[in-house]
Amino acid sequence: MGSEGEDQHSPLITNFSDTEAEQPFKRTGTIWTAIAHIITGVIGAGVLSLAWSTAQLGWVAGPLIMVVFAAITIVSANLLCDCYRSPDPGCGPTRNRSYVDAVQLYLGEKHKKICAVFLYESLYGCAVAYVITSAASVKAIEKSNCYHKEGHEASCSYGDTIFMLLFGAVQIIVSQIPDFHNMAWLSVVAAIMSFTYSSIGLGLGFAKVIENREIKGSIVGVTADSVADKVWLVLQAVGDIAFAYPYSVILLEIQDTLKSPPPERETMKKASTSAIIITTFFYLCCGCFGYAAFGSDTPGNLLTGFGFYEPYWLVDFANACIVLHLVGGYQVFSQPVFAYVEGWFSWKFPNSGFVNNFYSFKLPLIPAFQLNPLRLCFRTTYVVSTTVIAMIFPYFNQVLGVLGALNFWPLAIYFPVKMYFVQKKIGAWTTKWVVLQTFSIACLIVSILAFIGSVEGLISAKLS
């Protein structure tokens, strides 16, 4: 075992903003791989909470807010796509290969530091949420089989901890995938899984409506004990929907995989719009059919809350698809963190063997592979920490609401708008400036209210 040749001094990752002459790899991504990456990143844990969110908001506000967030996400993505190349958005020589690099180039070091806090907290939070969701799905498979054997009234009780530990163990292995450019296959598999379980949730909800011979629910949604309780639930539901949509934090990494011509921004805009339209259709179907099937009794997680007991094998299969999807989804949101931290270490310690050397390993039955000591240690520690936090706060809807509300405005709205102003040289108080600033302020108000409601829900869940 030992490093060979140029591996001894080659950096783990190059500078994120590079020029055409410094390309460290050949970009081969297409609109289809981009759509797969986006769907993998967007249709995740969030889709399972949308029936519950619709139940809190009612038949008018629920679907309407989902469509509004879809439109906001498309606008945000289009603004960000133009920030990948600089100075010209179509053919500029400088590539911004990560969200943080784009913020640094357009807005400066101070904004970069603020952005980095939100960005990596958001990515880390998504990883925590995925651990919670995967454990809930594995537990649901156990409970589904128990209910099938013992009857629906049986006390089938299982803990989360062991399943979180198992998911964490899998992620320690999968996290050794080098970067996004080696992940197209994983995203394709994960995207197929997300379509599968979303379709099953939709189908089960539709079948339940047919079985009930009525559409449950109301215009105002679930009733609460007081006006204050209703407000908290509505705000938490908005936070859950906010979590379900934006993927701005990984957009530039996905765009960096695309080949050209045509210009990457054109391909990415088409991919973003297509992916969001597809996911919105699934979101509306899952949210609305789930609410129509269960009304006020809509579970917080459509496929693990046991609104559906039979056919048990289909519920099991759907939850297995969720777990497989989250294996890939966890990596989609974690790879930018890995790249940033490892790139910083490589820059800071260019002569360190621990940081930069790769060592070849050969185990029975699998091809030879290379390990980097820093990558192995850091990524393992990262996975362990997300698993521990998930074990402390295993509250699905509340965690999703907090993460969605906290990160929606700064990452999906504020920074893309500010960078777009600089890129397009839009002056203050022009028509476009006023429109986008108004748009940004409105989204800020929504985010603050949703964050307050979601934190209240998380505290209540922990105390109870």
**Largest alpha-carbon pair distance within the chain?**
70
Could you tell me if 133 and 45 are in contact, meaning their C-beta atoms sit under 8 angstroms apart? yes
Determine the pLDDT at residue 10. 32
Determine the pLDDT at residue 22. 43
Could you tell me if 322 and 132 are in contact, meaning their C-beta atoms sit under 8 angstroms apart? no
Tell me the pairing of strands 359-361 and 369-371: antiparallel
- Given a cut of 70, the residues of the chain with pLDDT beneath it are 1-25, 41, 43-46, 178-184, 187, 305-309, 365-366
What letter represents residue 315's amino acid?
V
Determine the pLDDT at residue 164. 92
Q: What are phi and psi of 255, to 5 degrees?
A: -60, -30
Determine the pLDDT at residue 1. 41
Helix, strand, or coil (residue 394): coil
Tell me the pairing of strands 94-96 and 17-18: antiparallel
What letter represents residue 234's amino acid?
V
Determine the pLDDT at residue 3. 39
Helix, strand, or coil (residue 310): coil
| DSSP tag of 437 | H
CB-based burial of residue 446 (10 Å sphere; 0-12 exposed, 13-18 middle, 19+ buried)?
buried
Q: What is the pLDDT of residues 36-59, one digit of tens each?
A: 888 776 766 667 788 899 999 999
As given in the structure block, the two tokens for residue 418 are 């500010």
Question: Which of 200-225 are b and which e, b meaning 16 or more Cβ less than 10 Å from the residue's Cβ?
Answer: bbbebbbbbbeeeeeebbeeebbeee
Q: What are phi and psi of 85, to 5 degrees?
A: -105, 150
As given in the structure block, the two tokens for residue 287 are 């949210």
In which residue are the tokens 């537990």 written?
Answer: 139
Could you tell me if 86 and 322 are in contact, meaning their C-beta atoms sit under 8 angstroms apart? no
Question: How many other CB atoms are there within 10 angstroms of residue 158's CB atom?
Answer: 15
Helix, strand, or coil (residue 371): strand
Helix, strand, or coil (residue 359): strand
Q: What are phi and psi of 360, to 5 degrees?
A: -80, 140
pTM (global) more than 0.85: no
Give the C-alpha separation, 295 to 54, whole Å: 10
Give the C-alpha separation, 273 to 433, whole Å: 23
Residues 6+ apart with CB under 8 A from 149: none
